[in-house]
Structure 1
Amino acid sequence: SKIPKPDGEAGRPARGGYNLERALNWDSSQFKLLRDFVHRSIDKHCDTSKSKSSQMPAALNSVETEAVVQFPELNDYMGRWPVGDLIQMQLKNLSAKER
C-alpha cells in the first residue's frame, strides 16, 4: 500500500499543513538532492512566471517523470505527491518573485 499525502499544504505547518522534509522522513542529504533535482527540472520545463495551476500539464508531467526516474522511491507515495508538493512550493515562490 502506498504512503498517503498528509492533510494540509506542504510548507505551511503553522496553518494546518506540514513540513515536507519531515513528512518524507528521508535522510536530509537525499531530500536536498530530490529538491534540487526537481527545481532544475522546473527551470527546464515550466514557465516560472506562472503558478502550478497555470502550467501546461505536459510540463508538469515531464518534471514528475524525470523525478521518478531519478528517485524511484517516489512510486511508494500515492500519486507521487512529494513531487507535486515540491513543484507547488517552487512555482509559488518563483512566480511571486516575478510579480
Structure 2
Amino acid sequence: MSEVPGSYFAYPHPQVTSRINFSLIFCPPPAGPKVGMQINWDLRSPTSSPSSVASPLATNPLTPPPSNPPTVGPSALPTAGPLSARAGCSRVVIIPKPVGEPGRPGSGGFNLEDILQNTYNWTKKDVETLLVRVYSYVSRYLFLISYSILQAYIHREATRTLRLDTSYCSQNQTLINKICEMAMDADHWPVLTNYDNCWPVRSALKLILKYKSEALRQVEGKRVAACIRDVIDNREKSHEPSSSDEV
C-alpha cells in the first residue's frame, strides 16, 4: 500500500485491521471571489460602478462650474444732482416727471429750479449750469439769431429748424430728442438717464421757448403797430391840401 499524506485523514494513521473502513476527507477550498462576480473597486459609492459615478460636469464638459451670484445690495434712489450722482447703478430707478408743466406753479404746475433743488438735491449751481447748457443747445439747434435775420429766413428755415416763435409742442421732436441725447452724454450729465424721458431738459426747453416766443411776439407786435402807424401817416399826408389848392 502506497503511503498517503496525513493531511487527508481526520485522525492519525491507525493500525491496519480488517474491521476499519477508510475514506478521504478533503479540506474546504480557500475563500475567494466566484467567477462572474462584479467587484466594485470604488470605495466612495459602494452601490454603483465607476461608469455610473460621474460629477455634474461630466454630462456637459462645456458647462461652467456653478458659482454663487454676487449679493447686490439695494441701490439708493438716484436723486442727487449731476455733481454728486452718476448713472449706471446696479438697479436704475427712473424718476418720474412732476405733475403739470414747468413755469406754472400756481396753475397745477411746478417750478423747475425749486423741485430740482428741494426734491432731488440739486444745487443751485447745478440748475444754473443746466439752464445755460440747454440754452447753448437751443442756440445751436433752434436757429437762434437776431430778429432782423430771422424775419428773412423764418419761412424757409421753419421746416428744417426749431422756431422761436412757436411753442414746445409745435417744434421738430427729432431735434428736441437730439438735444436731450446731448445733455445725457457721459461728458455732460449721464445722471439724466435716470429721469423719465429726460424731463429736466425738456422742461427747460419749454421755459426757454415760452419766453422767447413771447418776446418775439412782442417785437412782432411793435413792428406791426409801427407799420400801421406809417401807413396811417402816409394816408393822412396824401390827403392834406397843397398850397396851390388853397390859392
Normalised to the residue count of structure 2, the TM-score between the two structures is 0.38
Amino acid at match of 2:190: P
Residue number in structure 2 paired with 1:17: 109
Is 1:74 matched with 2:166? no
Bigger RCO (CA 8 Å, 6+ sep): 1
Normalised to the residue count of structure 1, the TM-score between the two structures is 0.91
The aligned runs of 1:16-55 (5 Å cut-off) are 16-25=108-117, 26-46=122-142, 47-55=163-171
Bigger CA drift: 44-53 or 88-97? Answer: 44-53
In the aligned structure 2, how far is the partner of 1:62 from the partner of 1:80? 11
Bigger CA drift: 83-92 or 40-49? Answer: 40-49
**Displacement of 1:40:** 1.0
**Displacement of 1:48:** 2.0
Residue number in structure 1 paired with 2:95: 3
Residues 20-61 of structure 1, C-alpha deviation per residue, up to 9 Å, x if partnerless?
Answer: 112122100011001110011012112323221221122212
In the aligned structure 1, how far is the partner of 2:178 from the partner of 2:139? 11
Amino acid at match of 1:62: K
Bigger CA drift: 39-48 or 26-35? Answer: 39-48
Residue number in structure 1 paired with 2:201: 83
Q: Secondary structure at the match of 1:11?
A: coil
Amino acid at match of 1:41: Y
Contact between 1:45 and 1:62, CA under 8 Å: does it hold in 2? no
* Paired residue total: 99
**Displacement of 1:77:** 0.8
Identity of aligned residues (%): 33
Amino acid at match of 2:215: K
Give structure 1 regions of 4+ aligned residues with deviation exceeding 4 angstroms.
Answer: none
Could you tell me which runs of 5 or more consecutive residues in structure 2 were left unpaired when the two chains were aligned. Answer: 1-92, 143-162, 218-247
**Displacement of 1:95:** 1.1
Residue number in structure 1 paired with 2:181: 65
**Displacement of 1:91:** 0.5
In the aligned structure 2, how far is the partner of 1:12 from the partner of 1:55? 20
Greater C-alpha Rg: 2
In the aligned structure 1, how far is the partner of 2:97 from the partner of 2:174? 23
Q: Secondary structure at the match of 1:92?
A: helix
**Displacement of 1:63:** 1.2
Amino acid at match of 1:56: N
Aligned-CA RMSD value: 1.2
